[in-house]
Homo-oligomer: A and B are copies of this chain.
Amino acid sequence: MLRFTKKGSKKAGLPPGALVHMGKKKIEKTRITLMDYDEMHFQDREIKTLYESLSFKNQPTVTWVNVEGIHQARILEKLGECFGLHPLVVEDILNMEERPKMEDFGDYILVVLRIPYHYNSKSNEIETEQISLVLGPNFVVSFQERAGDVFHPIREQIRNGKGRIRKSGADYLAYALVDSIVDTYLKVLEQLGESMESMEEELVTNPVPQTLQIIHDLKREMILLSKSVRPFREIVGKLERGESPLIKEPTTIFLSDVHDHTIEVIDTVETFRDMLSSMLDIYLSSVSNKTNEVMKVLTIIATIFIPLALIPGIYGMNFKHMPELGWRWGYPMVWIVMIGIGVAMLMYFRKKKWL
């Protein structure tokens, strides 16, 4: 699986605006749900084609159309027509490898974000999917790359009528969706933080190659997360500045809160990168330390025993004329000399603080 690059290049050679879905997997079935609500009324249904949503679009109630699994270009082919979108907008929504961005087209705002949907704690890989939002005067259309409702809590809020969501317009709904996406990052970062903390304890005392593997995996993920999260700041900032009449003033203060969270996410990613770099340096130093320790053991043993071995070697020679061999106390003397040399060596090493 290729995670480092995006497949935008497949488009090379096609006329701009050609409708081709460019995501990785095309397994799930497309599922379209529609919610329509105001403070009093509320309905929730599954629809087959986007055409069914047209009747809701022009009513004063807030209409939220959510499309999960957008690979079936056939279903979506009339998307631009239904909602009056520019061909490039449709292309951006279908191209699953778009850089996060926000564009204001006057009548509607396109927001393209990425959300982490799965964290593989074994390979420490974080899979992300693209989420696109189109915010119109009283509707929001959201597109998810894969099935699985990441917006379930918001759906529940609408159903229960809790909080201010039922009392607010489409811009508040868009805020709630973006907010839930940003919160997902905080949750993922928390998990990664736990991995880092548990790893940190063994870093100096017991550096094992697995630690290195984890550090590498996490660093790679931070680099990738950093790439997909950094554009968020500008996106939410642009929304918050409220240059579009689609974003009403009371929502601005909530967007300012998301803005803070976005900066928090970016800060945390940068902090984690710094920490992992630091950990890697520490790891390298720890391994050097350990090599040094191993070297010392080797050197102590070799320095004591290699010279010692010379003595028995000498008295193992077969020269005819070796007076010591005939001495009465020659053999005990050899023992005494050898033990003496050994003890002297040990004392020397202790003095050098190698022991």
CB within 8 Å of B: which residues of A?
A: 2-9, 11-18, 86, 88, 92, 98-99, 101, 103, 153, 157, 162-165, 176, 179-180, 183-184, 186-187, 189-190, 192-194, 196-197, 200, 203-204, 206, 209, 212-213, 215-216, 219-220, 223-224, 226-227, 230, 253-254, 256-257, 260-261, 263-264, 267-268, 271-272, 274-275, 278-292, 294-299, 301-303, 305-310, 312-322, 324-331, 334, 353-354
Residues of B contacting A328 with CB < 8 Å?
321
Instruction: State the number of copies, please.
Output: 5
Pick the contact of A278 from B153, B200, B219, B301 — CB < 8 Å? B219
Q: How close is A104's CB to chain B, nearest CB, in angstroms?
A: 11
Q: How close is A226's CB to chain B, nearest CB, in angstroms?
A: 8
Cα distance, A198 to B282, chains bound together (Å)? 20
| CB-nearest residue of chain B to A271 | B227
In the A-B complex, list the 3 residue pairs whose CB atoms are closest, starting with the nearest.
A15-B163, A312-B313, A4-B193
Cα distance, A281 to B189, chains bound together (Å)? 23
Q: A5-B186, A5-B189 are in contact. Are A297 and B297 (CB under 8 A)?
A: no
Pick the contact of A8 from B183, B298, B318 — CB < 8 Å? B183
| CB-nearest residue of chain B to A273 | B274
Most buried by B among A189, A279, A317: A317
Q: How close is A96's CB to chain B, nearest CB, in angstroms?
A: 13
Q: How close is A257's CB to chain B, nearest CB, in angstroms?
A: 5
Cα distance, A239 to B278, chains bound together (Å)? 35
Pick the contact of A209 from B18, B162, B204, B283 — CB < 8 Å? B204
Are the CB atoms of A320 and B325 closer together than 8 Å?
yes
Are the CB atoms of B5 and A209 closer together than 8 Å?
no
Residues of B contacting A287 with CB < 8 Å?
285, 288-289, 292
| CB-nearest residue of chain B to A213 | B204
Q: A8-B186, A288-B291 are in contact. Are A322 and B331 (CB under 8 A)?
A: yes
Cα distance, A213 to B286, chains bound together (Å)? 9
Q: A16-B257, A17-B164 are in contact. Are A318 and B312 (CB under 8 A)?
A: no
Dominant SS at the A interface? helix
Q: A17-B164, A321-B330 are in contact. Are A307 and B305 (CB under 8 A)?
A: yes
Residues of B contacting A194 with CB < 8 Å?
2, 4-5
Instruction: Please list 24 pairs of residues, one from A and one from B, whose beta carbons are closer than 8 Å in the complex, sorted by A's number.
Output: A4-B197, A4-B275, A5-B186, A5-B193, A8-B186, A9-B183, A15-B164, A103-B256, A204-B216, A212-B286, A223-B271, A230-B267, A285-B287, A291-B292, A294-B299, A298-B303, A299-B301, A305-B309, A309-B310, A315-B318, A317-B318, A318-B318, A319-B327, A321-B327
Q: How close is A152's CB to chain B, nearest CB, in angstroms?
A: 8
Q: A17-B164, A253-B86, A309-B306 are in contact. Are A183 and B314 (CB under 8 A)?
A: no
| CB-nearest residue of chain B to A272 | B4
Residues of B contacting A206 with CB < 8 Å?
353
Cα distance, A196 to B281, chains bound together (Å)? 18
Residues of B contacting A163 with CB < 8 Å?
15-18
| CB-nearest residue of chain B to A274 | B223
